[in-house]
Structure 1
Amino acid sequence: MNQQQQQQQQQDVVFEGNSCVKKVTLNRPRKLNSLTYGMVSQMLKKLNEFETDPSVKLVILKGNGKAFCSGGDIVDLYGHSPPGQWRLKESFYKKQLIIDYLLATYKKPLVALINGIVMGGGAGLSMHAKFKIVTENTVFAMPEVAIGHVPDVGASHFLSRLPGYFGEYLGLTGTRLRGADMIACELATHFLLSKDLHLLENALDKVTSSDTAAISQLLSKFTLGKNDLKEQSAYYTSRLPIINKCFSRETVEDILLALEKQAEIGKEKWVVDAINSLKSTCPTSLKICLRSLREGRWQSLEQCLARDYTISYRTAASHDFYEGVRAMLFDKDKNPKWQPSKLELVTEEMIDQYFVEVKDDKSEPLRLPPRSNSIVAATSKL
């Protein structure tokens, strides 16, 4: 790596702040702040330093431009490597999962300012923070099944704990949520108008204590409550009963059948959109996703992240993932040729292979660093 590349890499993440409050700003606005290996490495190093520095009381995560973070830079990671060459991406992915785990178990309060697009790896960075601030500009999605992959970075933990079966709906359809709906379904903790973000930041700059109750009280002075967002969050509240009815089914085929029956009754556009998504998305990814979410309901974050690594390791060598990336991100013909092409052709034995722990000469299971405040297993909200 030459000096110019090193300088550019350092500029992709900006670290600033005062002695008590540190800010981590993702700074690739033209790339929607998509993550590279260099960015993840820098953040992991700095976040460890901030956590052990007794003078640091609060850490703020944010993005520059129209996105918080659109996820990992898949074009950069996968554009020049053929299927099966997992080692080229393994270091990046392991560091990404480790940083997600670090954030979830962080000993200092974390405030994620999510103003704009947050998807994939960006959700991994923000959804594990103590305080998750969204605005009217926020757009959340986990669209991995559309490219032959599966929602990861701990998604089977945080999606499966949403009310009812809303997590299955988001994971299987890749549906986009706005900020108010994230508050309604408890994906986010606070909502404020984007025009007031600078006021909130200025107030947070003056924090001198890690007292989470005091920080929460400070945030409440600038943010809107659920009652103020009832009309804006109608998307979530009006659809949850049907989502619970359909997405609680045992298999993807049964979920699709229930949605088709619902479409005959109500003709709601969002139901038709969900049907079309399930019919066009990678059949294997859908079945892996559903199984992962169902297992995640009863597992710890550590277990979920370990499974994410296993699935991604297996997916990296699959035809479907490279075909999905080709069709959606490179050639952009939006016509991937999935193998198998239909849900009924994907057997349980095929899916089982994606959940077999990695133990071979090429790699090994994910080893998360020991943390004194690890996330214990907890049942989901039903």
Structure 2
Amino acid sequence: MCSQTNPEVLLEKVGRTGMITMNRPKVLNALNLSMIRQIYPQLKKWEKDNETDIIIIKGAGGKAFCAGGDIRAVTEAGKVGGSLAQDFFREEYILNNAIGACRKPYIALIDGITMGGGVGLSVHGRFRVATEKTLFAMPETGIGLFPDVGGGYFLPRLQGKLGLFLALTGFRLKGRDVQKAGVATHFVESKKIPDLEKELVDLKSPSAEDVSRVLDSYQNQTLSKMSPTSLKITFKQLQAGAALSLQDVLVMEYRMSQACMRGCDFYEGVRAVLVDRDQSPKWKPSTLEEVSDQSIDQCFASLGEKDLTF
């Protein structure tokens, strides 16, 4: 098939779902003006349409959601005073606002590279699903621009000074960190995305809460996979270690290592992750509440003459 017949963006109804697929995989689904002009009116139409419940946006090709705006074309126009330099930004920002204001659940599957203009297509929506392949950045200061597409709105609203750091440095967040930073609302393994998509499409007249429930069911929040005992001793280790010398930390950690050898979670964890690889360890105790402070204190107690010495 010659590339001319491949639309740059696919807009289709799948059941009661409006599906937007950026379809320029060779250029990492970079967003151009003609794509913006197709997406915007369709988004407004679906928003008003009683036959459409949710809107999903994704990228074709498996490498990128959308690596940014088609900046090269904009600079060419800017140099010669072409109107594209005004039209592109104006219409892109109008689309960003429409996404932020969308009354139907809007779900961006940011599986792959998501930068600049691609951030504008996702981050203002209600749901943003990252995977281990997500690579998020706002690298505009490196090209003499600034983090636009509403960067001035969402970046300062990330925790602490994280947004300022991302904006100034163009630092790339990867995988799960995209969710931890608050850029994504959910994290789902890439291989589960087709199943997730199908389940979302199959929802019967869903509310935002229904969509939330499906997305939540796909993300096993990592902490629940961890040993409750390990979580508690690690918490205490880092609190104590902040005020200790390296030598004292190593003495403490040797005591902790021997406690783990005496317990059962270490053996069970290695069995589940490295030996049988069923990834479902049975921790004892199985909840944080059941781990007594006394059992944690024992992990830090002196080993007498068996203590580590230098």
- TM-score (norm: length of structure 1): 0.56
Residue pairs, 1:229-240, within 5 angstroms = none
SS state at 1:24 partner = strand
2:116 aligned to which of 99, 113, 120: 120
SS state at 1:132 partner = strand
* 1:189-228 deviation per Cα after TM superposition (whole angstroms, max 9, x unaligned): 1101101111101111102224111111111121232526
Residue pairs, 1:109-148, within 5 angstroms = 109-148=105-144
d(CA) in 2 for partners of 1:204, 1:19? 10
Tell me what 2:14 maps to: 18
Relative contact order higher in (CA < 8 Å, ≥ 6 apart)? 1
Residue pairs, 1:142-221, within 5 angstroms = 142-221=138-217
Q: CA RMSD in A?
A: 1.9
Shift of the 32–190 alpha-carbon distance from structure 1 to 2, 3 Å rule, reads same
Shift of the 229–158 alpha-carbon distance from structure 1 to 2, 3 Å rule, reads farther
Gaps of 5+ in 1: 231-382
Q: Please tell me whether residue 52 in structure 1 is matched to residue 9 in structure 2.
A: no
CA contact (8 A) 1:68 1:116 kept: yes
CA contact (8 A) 2:53 2:205 kept: yes
d(CA) in 1 for partners of 2:124, 2:28? 20
CA contact (8 A) 1:59 1:110 kept: yes
Shift of the 203–72 alpha-carbon distance from structure 1 to 2, 3 Å rule, reads same
Q: Please tell me whether residue 70 in structure 1 is matched to residue 71 in structure 2.
A: no
Gaps of 5+ in 2: 227-310
Shift of the 81–185 alpha-carbon distance from structure 1 to 2, 3 Å rule, reads closer
CA contact (8 A) 1:21 1:207 kept: no
CA contact (8 A) 1:118 1:138 kept: yes
Q: How many residues align?
A: 224
CA contact (8 A) 1:117 1:140 kept: yes
Residue pairs, 1:1-382, within 5 angstroms = 8=5, 11-65=7-61, 66-79=63-76, 81-82=78-79, 85=81, 87-225=83-221, 227=223
Q: Which amino acid in the other structure matches residue 166 of structure 2?
A: L
SS state at 1:11 partner = coil
CA contact (8 A) 1:112 1:126 kept: yes
Shift of 1:17: 2.9
Q: Which amino acid in the other structure matches residue 94 of structure 1?
A: R
d(CA) in 1 for partners of 2:19, 2:155? 27
Identity value in percent: 38
CA contact (8 A) 2:77 2:85 kept: no
Shift of 1:88: 2.8
- TM-score (norm: length of structure 2): 0.69
Shift of the 192–228 alpha-carbon distance from structure 1 to 2, 3 Å rule, reads farther
Shift of the 35–229 alpha-carbon distance from structure 1 to 2, 3 Å rule, reads farther
Shift of 1:33: 0.4
